[in-house]
Structure 1
Amino acid sequence: MGNTHKKRKAGNSLIKIGKNIIIIFITMTISLMPYTQVRAMTAKQSMTHQLNQVIMKEPALQGAIAGISVRSAADGAILYDYQGDVRLRPASNMKLLTAAAALKVLGENYTFSTEVKTDAKKIKKIIQGNLYLKGNGDPTLLEDDIENMAMAIERIGVKKIKGNLVADDSRYDHVRYPLDMPWSDEAAYYGAQISALTVSPTKEYDSGSVRVKVKPGTKIGEKVKITVTPKSNYIKIINHAVTVAKDGKKKIKIEREHSKNTVTIEGTLPLNAKESKEWVGVWEPTRFAATLFKQALTERGITVTGKIKTGTVPEQAKLLTKHQSMPLSQLLVPFMKLSNNVHAEILIKEMGKLKKGEGSWDKGLTVMKSEVAKLGVNPNIMVIRDGSGISHVDSVPANQLSKLLFSVQKEKWFPVYLNALPVAGNSDKMVGGSLRKRLTDPSMAGRVRAKTGTISTVTSLSGYVNTKSGQILIFSILLNNMLDETKGKKIEDTLVTILANQ
């Protein structure tokens, strides 16, 4: 027993000596490290601690799922990873993948054309044949562009078309909605139908929709005043909304009937109240575009004797005029900054048409997955059902989004990609975009370029942040199963502010 006790004491002494040697070794190792390396380790530990504190203590994250990835923009090293490999719904952060693939496939100078053709044998004052309006996917086509094409027909000297006005949207298939789009989004501008021939109401380019403005009347009890842009007989307005006293409630409801273009407006609007605006997706955007074109021709004294129909342009048809869209480099600005879902889906179908000969989601998504794989992203561990992120089935790991954002820096088109991202705190809508009212404090404004994302119970933010120490950090924050998306956005801003202060 005595010897055993002595052996234990000796053993304990050896353990203590061993521990002291390890401590001395670690101390010597740290002391031999360059000061900047030690400081970097401390900074990383501090950042990790601060981020963890938010994640663990934020009440709004209780019961929710967060996926967070932070990388160095310089070498791509992961600096922070909280469930970064867990697949989560990305919402509009999916557009980061779509934009990168589109730039790789189409190129920054790519444009879309809209053509006017005829199958008449001779172009005279009276055209004996059909007039064709051929869409090739331009998501930025405006009423002004349609009017300019009508003016071009007028300049040729045409006065009458003795035939039909045929709208051709055959470049893409006729599947109008992404696979998993909620039925409740059908009448919303962000759920507008996808067509190769579509018109935007304003220079925010919400393709396939109209803008409805509601203003109060001049006296109590009077119906509110309605303005629809673009104006046409394609949309039928039923106005049940009335003007109430100045201290009355502002409660306006604008709804479009399923499968129709009947928009009902109900509610109340106080005297002198600010106008209400809503963008409403139209039913069958192809026919809407043709209706606007026929209207523009009529206004210039050009008669179309036939009807508006849908069909395809014959091979022998002659080109009368065409409109060319802005290049993709410019188109990406409203697409990404304003998070335009229709643009995303059109780009998917265009990639499918160009690379696989079919303008469909099936072919387009195949192309998109192939292209992002070339950027080091692994599409095999993702679920990708659309290009916009409107689907609640889409699921992507945060580490994959941060990897994409690292990889695209090496591409020649990266300046275009970066320029398209919303800039935090910049009030200009086409600069700040969906981040213009966030991170507005002077210490943060202009330091974050990132893509936002929101669908029901989901909020996301992925992009680049300039830190106080002069580094650029890449981050991806995906928050799912949120009870309140607004609180989710505040959490995102808090996390990004921590990164900015490193």
Structure 2
Amino acid sequence: MIRIVKSTVIILTTIAFTLTPYTQVRAITGNANMTQQLNQIIMKDPALQGAIAGISVRSAQNGAILYDYQGDVRLRPASNMKLLTAAAALKVLGENYTFLTEVQTDAKEIKKTMSGNLYLKGNGDPTLLKEDFENMAMAIKKLGVKKIKGNLVADDSRYDHVRYSLDMPWSDETTYYGAQISALTVSPTKEYDSGSIQVKVQPGTKIGERVKVTVTPETNYVKIMNRAVTVAEDGKKKITIEREHSKNTVTIEGTLPLKAKDKKEWIGVWEPTRFAATVFRQALADHGITVTGKIKTGPVPEQAKLLTKHQSMPLSELLVPFMKLSNNVHAEMLIKEMGMVKEGEGSWEKGLAILKSEVAKLGIDPNTMVIRDGSGISHVDCIAANQLSFALFSVQKEKWFPVYLNALPVAGKPEKMVGGSLRKRMKNPSTAGRVKAKTGTLSTVTSLSGYVNTKSGQTMIFSILLNNMLDETKGKKIEDTLVTILASQ
């Protein structure tokens, strides 16, 4: 039986918007009917039997708690952790912050045949695409360069070489959301899954033929073992696409019926730095520039000269794919970037220390949390729903809050870069376009925290953390039901 915390209804006095310390905003206030409706769901939904729920609802106007069910219980937030990471990045780096990728050389002269190494220096841009490397190659071609008698050296020294966060599950190693962290990466598409490739599998033209495989970006860095075959139209669609541990061999097995829809999978590569250098070398070759040496890694020497550079989109734009699509790699790269900017070291240790200090500035004691990464992929992260809802209240005073709010997924909006991870949820007119919130999912965990514009015209802040779930899909339905109740107030 789930124990229900009795809520007390009191008269709410309107106060001016101020940043009140988290511990002082403790009065339980709200609507008795709303409280009863929310309690009814928590008490009766069988999917919550044996699970742990932490739910916090606040007034966006003054931060007062309108509903609290185990709101001070620390729970795994999953990707709701990104709410804190995004806020800290905006405070530390600023909404106009950009990342530079540079191409330099130690050759004494810039001419048709250059004797010296070519250096590709990454500075943490998580949005590099193949076309960006092609543009840099084109810029070098315009300098008249056709041959480089030397090596192509990739410099990812801005960040340390610890590729995985402390609690990243080994089972996620080959996934796009568990891709390795490097200061130099490349993404397959404009969804910016840094350090990954997209593998598309299509049926052949006749039964018994091998399936057709397309890799984006096109590269020989990854070896494809295609063992899947095309079967009759009424045959089984059963395809597996898996990368071997610590290698860049991707094996495709199974069957795909004639005329079946293609299957896409995103795979994290092993050593993204070398992958980016390989893509750049191919771009150089495509523009008639030959590099005679090997691909190596190392720092750019002090005497090197800049040939060209690429500037990323500003952080205000980067936050959209980061938050809408819940990009784990972006979160961890931002953590390391904050560590580099503030402490001169691009590591999780320094970056997470900065994150905690920025959380404290939002009026929350980081010593009452467990923060092990920036993405929430850790099953050790622990935050209370009341802490997340207070953070969402506090950020409203920041000048960059419109950027932050714009980056959140919007319920029921089908465009991927608008609705994001909420585009297929809460499509009802009472919630569509009126709920802006960050989703979160881990095995046994689901979460949703954000803002809802209610029927009466007020804005409520909510945080729903559901842990120890047997079925995360049912948990998301519970979240949608609870938020719909809030929207109806």
TM-score bracket, normalised by the shorter chain, equals over 0.9
Partner of 1:442: 429
Which of the residues 73, 82, 97 maps onto 1:110? 97
Matched, 1:452 2:456: no
**Aligned mates of 2:136, 2:444 — CA distance in 1:** 44
1:370 is paired with a residue whose SS is: helix
Structure 2 vs 1, CA of residues 474 and 245 (structure 1 numbering), >3 Å: closer, same or farther?
same
Residue pairs, 1:327-338, within 5 angstroms: 327-338=314-325
- Greater per-residue helix proportion: 1
Alpha carbons 2:30, 2:65 under 8 Å: kept: no
Q: Which amino acid in the other structure matches residue 51 of structure 1?
A: L
1:124 deviates by 1.1
1:140 is paired with a residue whose SS is: coil
Q: Which amino acid in the other structure matches residue 82 of structure 2?
A: K
TM-score, length-scaled by structure 1 = 0.92
Structure 2 vs 1, CA of residues 448 and 34 (structure 1 numbering), >3 Å: closer, same or farther?
closer
Partner of 2:132: 145
Which of the residues 305, 317, 340 maps onto 1:353? 340
Matched, 1:431 2:431: no
Residue pairs, 1:3-152, within 5 angstroms: 44-152=31-139
Matched, 1:497 2:487: no
Partner of 2:23: none
1:80 is paired with a residue whose SS is: strand
Residue pairs, 1:185-264, within 5 angstroms: 185-264=172-251
Residue pairs, 1:368-447, within 5 angstroms: 368-447=355-434
**Aligned mates of 2:13, 2:52 — CA distance in 1:** 38
**Aligned mates of 2:460, 2:235 — CA distance in 1:** 49
Partner of 1:19: none
Q: Deviations over 1:421-470 (max 9, x none)?
A: 00000000000000000001222210100000001000000000010011
1:35 deviates by 13
Alpha carbons 2:430, 2:488 under 8 Å: kept: no
Q: Deviations over 1:9-44 (max 9, x none)?
A: xxxxxxxxxxxxxxxxxxxxx9xx9999xxxx9971
Structure 2 vs 1, CA of residues 35 and 415 (structure 1 numbering), >3 Å: closer, same or farther?
closer
**Aligned mates of 1:453, 1:206 — CA distance in 2:** 17
1:79 deviates by 0.6
Q: Judge which range, 293-302 or 319-328, deviates more.
A: 293-302
Q: How many residues align?
A: 467
Which of the residues 309, 316, 319 maps onto 1:322? 309
Structure 2 vs 1, CA of residues 470 and 218 (structure 1 numbering), >3 Å: closer, same or farther?
same
Q: Which amino acid in the other structure matches residue 168 of structure 2?
A: M
**Aligned mates of 1:167, 1:392 — CA distance in 2:** 33
Matched, 1:364 2:351: yes
1:338 deviates by 0.2
1:329 deviates by 0.1
Q: Which amino acid in the other structure matches residue 402 of structure 2?
A: P
Residue pairs, 1:470-481, within 5 angstroms: 470-481=457-468
Q: Deviations over 1:332-378 (max 9, x none)?
A: 00000000000000000000000000000000000010011101122
**Aligned mates of 1:465, 1:42 — CA distance in 2:** 18
Structure 2 vs 1, CA of residues 42 and 290 (structure 1 numbering), >3 Å: closer, same or farther?
closer
**Aligned mates of 2:444, 2:416 — CA distance in 1:** 25
TM-score, length-scaled by structure 2 = 0.94
Unaligned runs of 5+ in 1: 1-29
**Aligned mates of 1:354, 1:34 — CA distance in 2:** 43
Q: Which amino acid in the other structure matches residue 281 of structure 1?
A: G
Structure 2 vs 1, CA of residues 372 and 176 (structure 1 numbering), >3 Å: closer, same or farther?
same
Q: Which amino acid in the other structure matches residue 198 of structure 2?
A: R
Which of the residues 249, 256, 259 maps onto 1:269? 256
2:182 is paired with a residue whose SS is: coil
Matched, 1:287 2:240: no
Q: Which amino acid in the other structure matches residue 155 of structure 1?
A: K
1:216 deviates by 0.6
Structure 2 vs 1, CA of residues 306 and 60 (structure 1 numbering), >3 Å: closer, same or farther?
same
Q: 4+ runs of 1 displaced by more than 2 Å?
A: 33-36
Indicate the RMSD between aligned Cα atoms, in angstroms: 1.5
**Aligned mates of 2:53, 2:391 — CA distance in 1:** 19
Q: Which amino acid in the other structure matches residue 378 of structure 2?
A: S
Q: Judge which range, 98-107 or 437-446, deviates more.
A: 437-446
**Aligned mates of 1:98, 1:267 — CA distance in 2:** 40
Q: Which amino acid in the other structure matches residue 202 of structure 1?
A: T
Which of the residues 314, 326, 336 maps onto 1:339? 326
**Aligned mates of 1:402, 1:42 — CA distance in 2:** 15
Q: Deviations over 1:216-235 (max 9, x none)?
A: 11111111100000001101
Once the two structures are aligned, what percentage of the paired residues are identical? 83
**Aligned mates of 1:314, 1:34 — CA distance in 2:** 64
